[in-house]
Structure 1
Amino acid sequence: MNRFLSNATNRIDTKGRVSVPAPFRAVLAQRNVQELYCLQDLVFPAISVGGPDLLERYERQIASADPFSPEANAMSLLVHGGGVYMRLDAEGRLMVTDFIRDFTGITTEVTFVGRSDHFQLWQPQAFHEAQVAARAGRATFGVRPA
């Protein structure tokens, strides 16, 4: 297993830490990820979390544009200005910082959501609502009005 799949909701402890689900920790270990790049998602109220390859993917996109263009400038503002590095503690927990809380609205629980090559941190109700909306959109995909 080398992809982040499924979702799980864990409670934040009194010190502000949350246990990363074991399957997600296993993928991080398999990929030898020591330092996590965390980015405010560009679409959803979620924090995207991955290894250095996640940051590199965004930087390749930025590098493919004219460095003086408004698009490259805006993307760098989001990717570099909206990102931080974090580490798991020895027990596989992540500190739920103000960086995470302020952007997502997370308070007492975190929903971890697999996104193949990275995972996301969501406020549980926001994830539920986004998933309902995505399913509704898929239900009408390809359906033409009568």
Structure 2
Amino acid sequence: MNRFLSNATNRIDAKGRVSVPSTFRAVLAQAAVSELYAWQDFVFPAVSMAGPEVLDRFERMIGSQDPFSAEANKMSLLIHGGGVFMKLDGEGRLLVTDFIRDFTGITDRVTFAGRGDHFQLWEPAAFEEMQSRARKERTAIS
């Protein structure tokens, strides 16, 4: 297993921690990820998380552009100004910080959504609504 797949909703404990699904922890362990890069998603009201290699990929994209261009500066603002490093505790829990709560609207539960090479943290009702909308739009195309 080397991809983040499926979704799960977990409750935030009294100390503000949430257990990351075991399947997601297994992917992180297989890739030897000890520190997560978390960024505010560019499209959805979700916080995305992956190993630091994703940040490296974003920085290569910026580096391939004119450093004074508007596009490079906007991308840097999003990935550097809208990103932080986080770690899981020894029991596989993540602290749900204001960085996460303020951007997503998460309160007492978190939906973890697999996105292949990364996963996202969603407010559960927002995830359900967006997934339903995406399914309807996809069905209308077929």
- In the superposition, the TM-score normalised over structure 1's length comes to 0.95
**In the aligned structure 2, how far is the partner of 1:36 from the partner of 1:89?**
12
**In the aligned structure 2, how far is the partner of 1:54 from the partner of 1:133?**
27
Aligned sequence identity (%): 70
**Secondary structure of 1:107's match?**
coil
Pairing 1:126–2:129 present:
no
Alignment of 1:1-146 (within 5 A): 1-141=1-141
Bigger Cα Rg = 1
> How far did residue 140 of structure 1 move?
1.8
RMSD (CA atoms) = 0.7
> How far did residue 133 of structure 1 move?
1.1
Question: In terms of mean alpha carbon deviation, does 90-99 or 52-61 score higher?
Answer: 52-61
| Unaligned segments of structure 2, at least 5 residues | none
- Detail structure 1 runs of 4+ shifted over 2 Å in the superposition: none
> How far did residue 141 of structure 1 move?
1.7
**In the aligned structure 1, how far is the partner of 2:40 from the partner of 2:14?**
24
Corresponding letter in the other structure for 1:81: G
> How far did residue 31 of structure 1 move?
0.2
Question: In terms of mean alpha carbon deviation, does 49-58 or 29-38 score higher?
Answer: 49-58
Q: Deviations over 1:2-61 (max 9, x none)?
A: 100000000000000000000000000000000000000000000000001111121122
**In the aligned structure 2, how far is the partner of 1:57 from the partner of 1:112?**
23
- In the superposition, the TM-score normalised over structure 2's length comes to 0.98
